[in-house]
Amino acid sequence: MDKSHANKPFLRTLDGEVTSKPPLWMMRQAGRYLPEYRAIRATAPSFLDFCYTPRLATEATLQPIRRFGFDAAIMFSDILVIPDALGQAVSFEQGEGPRLEPISDAAGLAALRDTLSLDRLSSVFETIDRVKTALPKETALIGFCGAPWTVASYMIAGRGTPDQGPARLFSYLHPELFQKLIDLLVTASVDYLTRQFSAGVEAVQIFDSWAGVLPAGEFERWSLAPIKAIVEGVRASVPDARIIAFPRGAGSRLALFAKLPGVTAIGLDTSIDPAWAAREIQPHKPVQGNLDPLALVAGGPALDRAIDLIHGAFAGKPYIFNLGHGIVPETPLEHVEHLVQRVRGA
């Protein structure tokens, strides 16, 4: 990877520099809160078709950059392209979220491919290539994947659930089978992220959106260890890879990630107290987060208070301003504009 970061504040921060203003981007920054996203989304027959069409995915990636000038773009795709590229049918029902053919036994696991279908994913790499040529020179490009536990939880349940109960139960009842699935996802994720770097991304984020439902005795095995294995695997071919780990809901267990060699920065979810993270996490690594997406919906004094609390805790050491989870469709555009101005101190 090209380690030069010219003048990209997002990359300089990941590399440990303190910039005059924190760099800023938002999880799910391309999405339904943007009218221009809804307009192009309506032209594709399905969400996966949309993700796999480079012209549309490139446009979706660039839309929030044009409108708000964020410091980083995140390639437009979804974490569930991995099960799709492993041969498990994935679809998105309007207003209902993802649907997969649930894996319930050894036969379901055996039906998966051993390696990713690169045919299926070639459009993702083409999107990265197109975005790179169109981005402003100060804007970084982020790639991503879902962490094995989070992706597996959708593969087992076949849909989103309140607490990923089906995958937790499966992991207790069939630990060896579940380990096989996790190992397959580790290998696939290393391959996928390495190819994203080759295609031109400058950092990646690993989304473990459901890490928080794992009880103490299971957390290290299913969240920490697979992410550690991915980090080691990616760094074997991209030694200076910048990798952000986002184990949502990990709470005090974030400290385990903060000490993991090879993890560049830690994403903080909404529940994390910035004062705690400034003490326990930031001395080890740059942090990213963690505004409540609903404070951004609310706007007004509640939003200003929340922004100032984060800035007050993290300023002076490397940090990236972000939400604590994805922006929601109801978010008023003026509130995002206000956020950008306040974080940049305008």
Phi, psi (rounded to 5 degrees) for 208: -105, 75
Among 9, 23, 54, 98, binds ligand CP3 (CB under 6 A): 98
Residue (57 or 224) nearer to ligand CP3, CB: 57
Is residue 74 part of the contact set for ligand CP3 (CB under 6 A)?
yes
- In the 3-class helix/strand/coil scheme, how is the chain assigned residue by residue? CCCCCCCCHHHHHHCCCCCCCCCECCCCCCCCCCHHHHHHHCCCCCHHHHHCCHHHHHHHHHHHHHHHCCCEEECCCCCCHHHHHCCCCEEEECCCEEEECCCCCHHHHHCCCCCCCHHHHHHHHHHHHHHHHHCCCCCEEEEEEECHHHHHHHHHHCECCCCCHHHHHHHHHCHHHHHHHHHHHHHHHHHHHHHHHHHCCCEEEEEECCHHHCCHHHHHHHHHHHHHHHHHHHHHHCCCCCEEEEECCCHHHHHHHHCCCCCCEEECCCCCCHHHHHHHCCCCCCEEEEECHHHHHHCHHHHHHHHHHHHHHHCCCCEEEEECCCCCCCCCHHHHHHHHHHHCCC
Residue (51 or 278) nearer to ligand CP3, CB: 51
Is residue 27 part of the contact set for ligand CP3 (CB under 6 A)?
yes
Q: Pick the piece of the chain touching ligand CP3 (CB under 6 A) from 27-35, 125-133, 211-219, 264-272.
A: 27-35
Least Å distance, CB 277 to ligand CP3, is 19
Q: Pick the piece of the chain touching ligand CP3 (CB under 6 A) from 73-81, 182-190, 263-271, 282-290.
A: 73-81
Among 30, 56, 86, 266, binds ligand CP3 (CB under 6 A): 30
Among 80, 211, 287, 310, binds ligand CP3 (CB under 6 A): 80
Least Å distance, CB 151 to ligand CP3, is 9
Is residue 68 part of the contact set for ligand CP3 (CB under 6 A)?
no
Is residue 101 part of the contact set for ligand CP3 (CB under 6 A)?
no
Number of residues that bind ligand CP3 (CB under 6 A): 22
Residue (34 or 116) nearer to ligand CP3, CB: 34
Residue (209 or 282) nearer to ligand CP3, CB: 209
Active site positions, annotated:
28, 32, 41, 78, 154
Least Å distance, CB 283 to ligand CP3, is 27
Q: Pick the piece of the chain touching ligand CP3 (CB under 6 A) from 3-11, 22-30, 267-275, 300-308.
A: 22-30
Residue (151 or 278) nearer to ligand CP3, CB: 151
Binding site residues, ligand CP3, CB under 6 A: 27-32, 41, 47, 74, 76, 78-80, 92, 97-98, 144, 146, 160, 207, 209, 326
